[in-house]
Each structure stands twice: as structure tokens, then as C-alpha cells.
């Protein structure tokens, strides 16, 4: 059978039989739609022999490579690490700032503590001697108010009505007792308590005699022993059987400075009080007292019970001072806390083994709540050669001291106003 494609038709040229030839109709002088798809655009046609001119260098825009995103959302690299180095510098600055701040927080308070601790005046108050009580479960502080005029100028002596007595004596003896459990108690020891003396050559006498530096005796070794902190502590320990762990003493000048440093204390006399000898003239009722007024308030004996009333006022004042000094408004205020530390370390006298942290512990222990009482009194007779004295109630005072020796709270039945 003959192939129809091999048959010749009239007018045929036979070009349709050539391989790869595609014939299309239409006007051969014009490009059809199919040709337009493959013809180069005029913008892509280049004129042979034409020179390409580059723009001037000052008109060429800076090369800014396109930033490529990384796998972390929000982070970009610009190809040169500028942003990364800036972030690292910021991190180093923050880290260095934190390190410096931490060093200041650790070093500055430590340096201030060491400096303040070095300002404390120290004395050998807690001495070892034969028969001294062993260590006991509770903690005790002996707090002594000295009438020393050291540090007072002539104007202050006149304003405070202290006089110019030489040496030092004490009108205030208190023992802060902190049991193993429970609130601490401030125990006032009447200055006229009639007890055996620790000074050689002296028999029973008023307990404050053991503190007077003018009272001296000679021991068996021929050494002169005069009154002071050591004999006072020993006299109390031997009379009570209670061991003293810490010793704190403050003079009149320091007393005034402490009160003024905390901005005064509120005290509440029940009746008007006037005593020229103590420089005191106040009305009844609660009132804010500055250092000078508070000093006269705790010194005066111009009341019905004389020294016993003064003991009660001293406890009232000491509690008010501790509450004011340990108040957060005082502790966080540098205009109050710094003068308080300066006044305290400049005027406190402590035992050689005591540190500033022991004073802070005393302050904090009394912050929560402190009972106040006194050694129970039986009578106040007048003895030849000694004068008016205070005799302890043997049964009730022994009950108090036994609790202190064993670290137990003082029984309520022996606590008195």
C-alpha cells in the first residue's frame, strides 16, 4: 500500500518531506505570535562596537549586602559582626557593673563593720577567778550606766547639771537575760544591794561600791585591787551564782548622744517632776525627750521611793531606747543609723572579748519583746557605817537566779514591776 505522504500533488515543491522543517502560513514579512516568544527584547540587544561608560566613583552608592536571617527569630547578621560585637560590649558592661555592685555590697559593709568595731573601748571586765560559775545555757549581758563625766565640756556639764565629780561610779546596773527559749528579760540590780564584796579587805557592802575606782584593797599576793568593771562583775556572780557573758558600759556623755542620734525617745511620767540636781523640769504624760531631758529623768531620785522609782524609770527608758534604735525607720535611714553607730561605738565600753556583733545581737534580741523586772527586795534597812541598803528576798531571788543559771525563763511569780 502506497504511503500517502509520498504522493505528489500538483503545485507541491516537495519541501514538506524534509526533516525538521516547519511551515507556517501567514505573511512571511511579519513576526507571528510564536516568533515573538523567542525574539530578544530590545533592552537585551547590544550594539556592537558601542563603549559602556561607568558612573563616577562619588555617585556609586555604598555596598550594603543584603542581611540574611538566621535560624533564630529576631537575630540578623550583617556580614561584619558589628551588631554582635556591640551586644557583647553591652553584656560585658552589665556584667562588670553587677560585679562592682556585688563587691561594694560585700566589701563596704565589711570595712565599715571593722572600722566601727575598732572604735569600741575595751576593758578587762570578765575575769577568771577561783570559784567562778561555769558556762550556763542562757546568755547574759551586764549593762552599766557610769556617771563618768569624760567627754563632757564645761557647757554640757552646766546644761546637764552633772557636776564635776572625779572618777566614776554607777547608779544603773542591769542584767539582760536571754533564756534558751522565750523572750529576754531586763533585770535591774539595785545599786544599794547589800552583798559580799570582791575587793580585798571589804566585807559586805553596797554592790556599786565594787565599781567605784576610789575603793581599793590588797590581795594575798600584795597586789592592789581597785573597784571597776571586773570587781563589779565578780561581786554579782558570787552573790547570784549567775555567770555574765558580756559587759556593756556607757557614760553620761554617750547616753545623751545615743538618745539624740535616734531622734529622742517617748517616755511617760505619771506626775510632774522637777529636780534641779538632775536638771529636770517636766510635765506629766507621754512626751518626746531629748538626750539631756532623758538623762535627768533616769538620774533623779526626787520621788517617794527614791532609788526604787529610779530603777523603774531606768527600765522604762532602756526599753524605749532599744525599741527606737531597732525600729526599721531608724535602721534603714542612714541619717539616723550612721550617727547611732558612731555615737554607740564612740561611747560604749565593752569587755576585751566582746565585738560589735554582740551589741547588735543584744539590740535584735530585745526588739521582739522584753520583760522588765528587778531582783526581788525583802527590806531596805539602814546599817551603821554603810547607810541605807537593799536586802534581797532570799527565796524569790534564788528562784530567779536558779532559772537564769539553767537557761529557763524567769518564773512569773518572781517578776515584779
Confidence category of residue 2, pLDDT binned at 50, 70, 90: very low
How far apart, in whole angstroms, are the C-alpha atoms of residue 189 and residue 308?
A: 10
Domains of the chain, by residue range, sit at: 79-119, 122-414
Spatial CA neighbour of 262 closest among 182, 342, 184: 342
How far apart, in whole angstroms, are the C-alpha atoms of residue 244 and residue 97?
A: 47
Q: In the CATH scheme, what is the code of domain 122-414?
A: 3.40.630.190
pLDDT tens digit sequence for 321-345: 878 877 777 777 777 777 777 777 7
Average pLDDT over residues 261-267: 87
Confidence category of residue 164, pLDDT binned at 50, 70, 90: very low
3-class SS at 131?
A: coil
3-class SS at 156?
A: helix
How far apart, in whole angstroms, are the C-alpha atoms of residue 302 and residue 295?
A: 14
The pLDDT value given to residue 364: 78
pTM score, whole prediction: 0.67
Q: Is the dihedral of CA 88, 93, 96, 101 positive or negative?
A: negative
pLDDT tens digit sequence for 109-146: 667 777 777 888 889 999 999 999 999 999 999 999 87
Give Cα 269 to chain centroid, integer Å.
33
Report the run of H or E that residue 293 belongs to, with start and end.
Answer: helix 291-299
Separation of first and last alpha carbons in the chain: 146
pLDDT tens digit sequence for 266-300: 999 888 998 887 788 889 999 999 888 888 888 88
Residue 86 in grid coordinates: 556591640
Residue 334 in grid coordinates: 542612714
Residue-wise burial string across 214-248, b where 16 or more C-beta atoms lie within 10 A, e elsewhere:
ebebeeeeeeebebbbbbbbbbbbbbbebbbbbbb
pLDDT tens digit sequence for 59-110: 666 666 666 555 555 555 555 667 777 777 777 777 767 766 665 555 556 6
Task: Determine whether 118 is exposed, middle or buried from the number of CB atoms within 10 Å of its CB (0-12, 13-18, 19+).
Answer: exposed
Mark residue 227 as left, alpha or beta (left: phi above 0; alpha: psi -120 to 50; beta: remaining): beta
- Any idea what DSSP says for residue 193? B
Higher-pLDDT residue of 412, 38:
412
Amino acid at each position: 500500500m502506497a504511503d500517502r505522504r509520498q504522493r505528489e500533488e500538483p503545485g507541491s515543491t516537495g519541501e514538506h518531506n524534509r526533516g525538521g522543517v516547519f511551515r507556517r502560513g501567514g505573511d512571511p514579512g511579519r513576526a507571528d505570535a510564536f516568533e515573538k516568544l523567542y525574539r530578544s527584547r530590545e533592552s537585551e540587544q547590544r550594539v556592537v562596537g558601542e563603549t559602556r561608560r561607568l558612573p563616577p566613583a562619588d555617585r556609586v552608592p555604598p555596598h550594603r549586602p543584603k542581611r540574611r536571617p538566621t535560624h533564630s527569630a529576631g537575630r540578623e547578621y550583617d556580614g561584619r559582626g558589628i551588631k554582635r560585637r556591640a551586644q557583647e560590649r553591652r553584656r560585658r558592661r552589665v556584667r562588670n557593673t553587677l560585679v562592682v555592685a556585688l563587691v561594694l555590697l560585700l566589701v563596704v559593709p565589711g570595712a565599715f563593720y571593722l572600722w566601727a568595731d575598732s572604735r569600741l573601748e575595751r576593758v578587762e571586765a570578765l575575769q577568771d577567778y577561783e570559784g567562778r560559775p561555769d558556762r550556763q545555757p542562757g546568755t547574759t549581758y551586764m549593762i552599766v550606766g557610769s556617771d563618768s563625766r569624760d567627754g563632757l565640756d564645761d557647757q554640757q556639764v552646766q546644761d546637764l547639771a552633772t557636776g564635776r565629780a572625779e572618777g566614776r561610779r554607777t547608779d544603773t546596773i542591769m542584767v539582760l537575760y536571754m533564756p534558751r527559749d522565750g523572750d529576754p528579760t531586763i533585770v535591774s540590780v539595785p545599786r544599794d544591794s547589800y552583798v559580799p564584796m570582791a575587793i580585798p579587805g571589804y566585807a559586805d557592802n553596797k554592790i556599786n561600791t565594787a565599781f567605784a575606782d576610789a575603793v581599793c584593797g590588797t590581795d594575798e599576793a600584795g597586789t592592789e585591787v581597785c573597784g571597776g568593771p571586773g570587781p563589779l562583775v565578780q561581786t554579782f556572780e558570787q552573790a547570784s551564782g549567775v555567770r555574765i557573758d558580756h559587759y556593756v558600759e556607757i557614760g553620761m556623755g554617750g547616753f545623751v548622744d545615743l538618745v539624740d542620734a535616734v531622734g529622742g525617745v517617748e517616755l511617760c511620767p505619771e506626775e510632774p517632776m522637777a529636780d534641779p540636781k538632775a536638771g529636770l523640769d517636766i510635765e506629766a504624760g507621754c512626751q518626746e525627750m531629748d538626750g539631756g531631758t532623758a538623762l535627768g529623768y533616769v538620774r533623779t531620785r526626787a520621788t517617794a521611793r527614791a532609788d526604787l522609782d529610779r530603777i523603774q524609770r531606768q527600765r522604762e527608758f532602756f526599753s524605749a531606747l532599744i525599741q527606737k534604735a531597732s525600729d526599721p525607720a531608724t535602721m534603714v535611714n542612714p541619717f539616723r543609723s550612721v550617727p547611732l553607730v558612731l555615737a554607740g561605738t564612740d561611747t560604749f565600753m565593752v569587755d576585751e572579748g566582746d565585738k560589735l556583733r554582740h551589741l547588735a545581737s543584744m539590740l535584735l534580741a530585745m526588739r521582739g519583746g522584753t520583760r522588765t523586772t528587778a531582783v526581788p527586795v525583802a527590806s531596805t534597812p539602814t546599817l551603821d557605817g554603810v547607810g541605807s541598803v537593799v536586802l534581797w528576798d532570799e527565796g524569790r531571788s534564788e528562784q530567779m537566779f536558779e532559772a537564769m543559771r539553767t537557761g529557763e525563763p524567769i518564773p512569773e511569780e518572781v517578776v515584779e514591776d
